[in-house]
Every structure is written in structure tokens, then in C-alpha cells.
Structure 1
Amino acid sequence: MSPSRTRRILVCVALSVAGGILAGPAARADGFYEGKSQGWFFYDDGRATAPVDAVEVAPASRVAVAPVPAAPAPASAPSSPEPFSVQWLSQKMQILKLNAMNHPTEGNLLAYMWAQRMMLDMSQNFADVGSKVAAEDPYLNEEVRFPTAAAARSNALWHVDRAREEILTDLSAHAGLWFFFDSRCGFCQDELPTVKALTDKYHFPVRYISEDGAPLQGMRPEAMVVDRNHGTFRSFELKLTPAVVLVVPPSTVMIVAHGAMAQDELQRKIVEAAIDAQLVPQDLMDAAQLEKRGIISPADLDRMKKVAAAANTDDPAELVKLMREAVGRRMPGVVQGTGGHQ
């Protein structure tokens, strides 16, 4: 048999076998088209599958959908400041200044300097009206609160010194001073003459208390007492020597001074301690604190906060009334009117 014939026979056999496979019961001519929806990965093991009862599916109920709220309208851009207002000039000056510094031409410098001139003129107008308002309102007038003119100020300070002198004289009749020292302390030695001068002038009884058991130079040993184990020093919470303590029987104790100081400073501190302890009549207290007249205290501010909680502080007139009443309580003798008087 020739080779060509043999090849033709093999081809026919192969085609017959292929045709038999395609025509077999597992793969009918129309099986591919019928099962193509099962996909490439479908596998049928040939076992029968129990029929599944048809289940009637109810149509899905209609679900109400809430309407989507409309997007908020975009916020309107803030309005620009009014030309030649303080806000407008402040912004404009910053721009003009940077421009003039980056590009220092005559035109750029001229623009900036003219804007600056406008701001200075507005500041001057503000100051002029402010001076007029302060001159007409005694509670805002610093000349009324405490004189600034040389002659008037000198006279006012004389009244202050006189009131302090009277307070010290009255206080010495029912209070005393305790002077704590250490014989090795040079500042204690320097402060001793000051304490003696003060007691000689106002006749304060003084107790000299030694922390090391020895007297200062020029002090008689019998004129002092020794603070054993620093008990009194610690009980008063003193920090160093020399120290001066104001003692008012039966139980009032006030630290007046730590360290050495001049006599007038020591006198001032004694007066302030007596005022803080409310040991001074109101008239002398006001006279001795004349320089502080009209100054709002922390207690005044606390009172103002409580009043402001129920007031309309957005109303300028009501706000001024609240502040004027607070200052008025600190300025006795001044009557609010057209010009006020002392």
C-alpha cells in the first residue's frame, strides 16, 4: 500500500472516531447549544437531581425613598470694608507697604505714605474727641482722679502723708512691732536704726527677737528675747531676716517686711497692712489711698460681672452707666454732672 493511501485511510478513521464521539449520547448534536448557558466551569456527574418545586416569589413591595435635601446655598462672600474706613485702610496699608518694600518706586512709596497719612489723621480725630469727652466727664478726667499739675499734686501728696502719719500714730496705741534678726546678718544690723527711728517717732512698742540667741551690735541683751528652735519664726512662715511683723492683740498678725528697707518704705507698708486688716477709719483710708482713687478693684469687677449678666451690654448707654457707677463708688466727693466738682 502506498504511503499516500495509508495517510488517507488514517485520516478517514480519525474523522470517523471524532464523528462517533460527537454523536454519542453524552453529547448530542444540539447539546452544546442547549447547555451553553451553564458556562465553562459547569460539571454534570450524570446523577439525577430531584426536581425543585417552583416557588412563587411575591413582587417586591414598593419602598418609599426619602427625598434628598437640596444642597445649601453657598454662603455669600463677606462684604468688603467701606473705602477709607479703619478696616479698609488697615488692609490697604499692608498691601501698599509690602508692594513699596518689594518695589520701592516713587509711586509705590507715595501711595503707601498717603494711606499712612489718612490713618494718622483719623487717629488724631479720635484723640481730639477722646480728650474732649474726658475733660467733660470727671470720672474719666485724670486731673480730677488725682492731680497732675505740680502745685496741685504736691498739695495732694501732702494730704496723703498727713493721713498716713495719723494712721501710724493711732495704730501705735493698740499695736506693736516684732523685729526678727540674726546677729550674723549684716542687713539686720543696717535695719536696726530704721526700726528704732520709727518707734521713737510713733512710739510703737517693739519686741526684738533673736534667731541665733545673740544681740545685734549696740543692743542690750536684756532688750531682746530668744526664739528657741525658731518656733515663732516658723509659725509666722517667715523666710529670712530681718523681718518686721505688725501684731495687734489679741490675735492679728501681719508680715510687714522681709529684708532691709528705708524708713518711709517701712511706714508705707505698715499703713497698707493696717488698711488691709481694716484697722483704719474709712475717711483716713480714703485719704491715705488718694493716689488709688477711682481705680477699679477685683471686687468691683466681680460685682460688675454679676450686674452685666442681667444687663444689655450691647447698648452703649447702658454699658457706660454700669461702668460709671462702679468708678463712682471709688471716687467719693465727685458729683457726676455737667462738669463735676470736688
Structure 2
Amino acid sequence: MSEDCQTLGWHFYCDPAKTEPAAQPETPPSPNTAPESAPDPRERIKAIRDKLDLLKATAILDPTEDNVAAYIRFQREQLDRASVFSDQWRRTVWQNPDLDYDLVRPTGALAKRAWSDARKQDAAQVLAALPERYGVFYFFKGDCPPCRAMETALKPFTETHGLHTMAVSLDGSRSSAFPDAVTDTGQAARLGVTGEHLPALALFDTAQGAVIPVGFGALAADELERRIYVLTQVEVGHDY
């Protein structure tokens, strides 16, 4: 009670002096309190899909003009959205060479021709050096029409590139293209050739002592060149 209030006598009631409440210290934010996050774009995409499915189902089950029109309009909105994304995608690729796979494997006529010419030159050099390290295993049967077709391409291919070829007959039959063919005595099984898919062609790497399957079925000369180049020169995941 203040001094002025005390001088008024006992029959006066005075309110006690008001005091300002002490300022409370601000509570620092808890380090574990996460700030309010922005809406998850994945939830927005899910909501769009759900709405599109709902409008479609509604239009199918109750194909009134309004229901069908609502579905078409909403679907067109999403197609427009996809078109904008696609356009921005190509612009981004054009302006960022590290994102442009066309620089690795061209698709344009001019660049593709230059790439193909360079590849042919590299392949020719590889094939020229191939006999120094590789030989060819050729597996066939006498009653195998694809084998006869394969031989018409394989024989001139191996002769042109000087590749030593071991032709192996799985049923003991002869080959007019490879008269020195031997009868299988376990070679096929060791190389994983079952005889189910013939003809079968593989390279033998004398440097590594390893066998590299090239393919099964009749293959033309240009396909043989392409496969041999890729299997012997290109790392997995590159130039694809």
C-alpha cells in the first residue's frame, strides 16, 4: 500500500499498488523443431492422378456431356503441363552439354554420319589386329539350316580378317565351308554351348585365356563386326 493511501484513515480501502509483471525470457526454439515445410510435390502429383482417375471413372460409368467434358478438360490441362515439361527438358539438354547424350551417340543425320565413319575406321583397325590375340570357335550341326546360312558369311569373314577358326560339329557331321571341322569331345560343354541354340560363335582370348561368346543364330558379316568390336573394345555401359 502506498504512503498516500495510509494517511486517509482506516475506513478507506485502497487498492494495492499495481506492479508490472516481470518480463518473461523468450524461449529459444527447440533444435528439434522443424520449420514448416513446403507442400510435397509428390502429393500434388498424386492428387492430380487421383482426380484424373476419378473424372475418368465418373465419365465412363455416367457418360453425360458434363462428365465427359470435365474429364477431357482436366486431361488436356495435364497434357499441356507435360508439353511444357518436355519443351523445357529439350532446352535444358541443348544448353548443358554434360546432359546431352546426343554428343555420345548422335542421332542427327550429319553427326551420325561422322560418328559412323569414325566407328568404321576404329573397327577396321581392331579387326586388323584381331588375329594377334583372338581365335574363333564355331559350333554347328548337320541338320541345322541356320548353320548353313551362317557359314556363307562366316567363312569369307574369317578369311578376310585372317582369323583362325575351329569349327566343332556337335553331331559328327561334316561342313563344306570348314572341312577341317572336328567332332565335339567336350569343347561345347566347357564353353557353355548346349546345342539348343545353333549356330554358336565365340572368341577365344589367348592373352586372358578366356572365351567371349559372340552370339547364337545366323549372323551377317556386318553384325559380326559390330559385336566383336563392342565385346572387345567397349566397356559395359559406354556407347549405349
Fold-level similarity (TM above 0.5): yes
What's the offset of the Cα at 1:164? Answer: 1.9
In structure 1, what is the Cα distance between the partners aligned to 2:150 and 2:101?
Answer: 38
Task: Pick closer, same or farther for the CA change 1:233–1:130 going to 2, 3 Å.
Answer: closer
Where does residue 23 of structure 2 map in the other structure? none
Q: Deviations over 1:167-196 (max 9, x none)?
A: 121122222112233334333322222221
Alpha-carbon distance in 1 for matches of 2:175, 2:81: 66
Equivalent residue for 1:204, pick from 160, 163, 181:
163
Q: Secondary structure of the residue that 1:139 maps to in structure 2?
A: helix
Q: How do 1:27-106 and structure 2 match up within 5 A?
A: 86-106=45-65
The corresponding residue for 1:254 is 212
Match of 1:235 in 2: 190
2 CA distance for matches of 1:243 and 1:102?
56
Q: Which residue of 1 aligns with 2:87?
A: 128
| Structure 2 unaligned regions, length at least 5 | 1-38
- Structure 1 residue 208: Cα displacement: 2.7
Matched residue, 2:123: 164
Q: Which runs of 5+ in 1 are unaligned?
A: 1-79, 276-284, 293-342
Q: 2:110 aligns with which of 140, 151, 173?
A: 151
Q: How does 1:286-325 map to 2 (within 5 A)?
A: 291-292=239-240
The count of corresponding residues between Structure 1 and Structure 2 is 196
**SS of the residue aligned with 1:245?**
strand
Q: TM-score of the superposition, structure 2-length normalised?
A: 0.66
- CA shift in 2, pair 1:130/1:214, >3 Å: closer
Partner of 2:35: none
Distance 1:145 1:218 in 2: 40
Percentage of matched positions with identical amino acids:
26
Match of 2:229 among 259, 268, 271: 271
Alignment match, 2:73: 114
TM-score, length of structure 1 as denominator length: 0.49
Distance 1:112 1:81, change over 3 A: farther
- Measure, in 2, the Cα distance between the counterparts of 1:270 and 1:133: 36
**2:138 touches 2:200 (CA, 8 Å); kept in 1?**
yes
> Could you say what the CA RMSD is over the residues aligned between the two structures, in angstroms?
3.1
SS in structure 1 opposite 2:213?
strand
Q: State the shift of 1:103 in Å.
A: 4.2
- Matching of residue 178 in structure 1 with residue 133 in structure 2: no
Give the counterpart letter for 1:238 in structure 2. V
Letter of the 2:204 partner, please give it. Answer: V
Give CA deviations for 1:312-335 in whole Å, capped at 9, x if unaligned. Answer: xxxxxxxxxxxxxxxxxxxxxxxx
- In structure 2, what residue type is equivalent to 1:271? Y
Change in Cα spacing, 1:182 to 1:105, as seen in structure 2 (3 Å) is: closer
Per the alignment, residue 175 of structure 2 pairs with 216
SS at 2:167's partner residue? strand
Code of the aligned partner of 1:272: V
Answer yes or no: is 1:245 the counterpart of 2:199: no
Relative to structure 1, the CA distance from residue 290 to residue 162 in structure 2 (aligned partners, 3 Å threshold; closer, same or farther) is: farther
Which amino acid in structure 2 is aligned with residue 205 of structure 1?
H
- TM-superposed deviation, 1:88: 4.8
Q: Which amino acid aligns with 2:132?
A: A
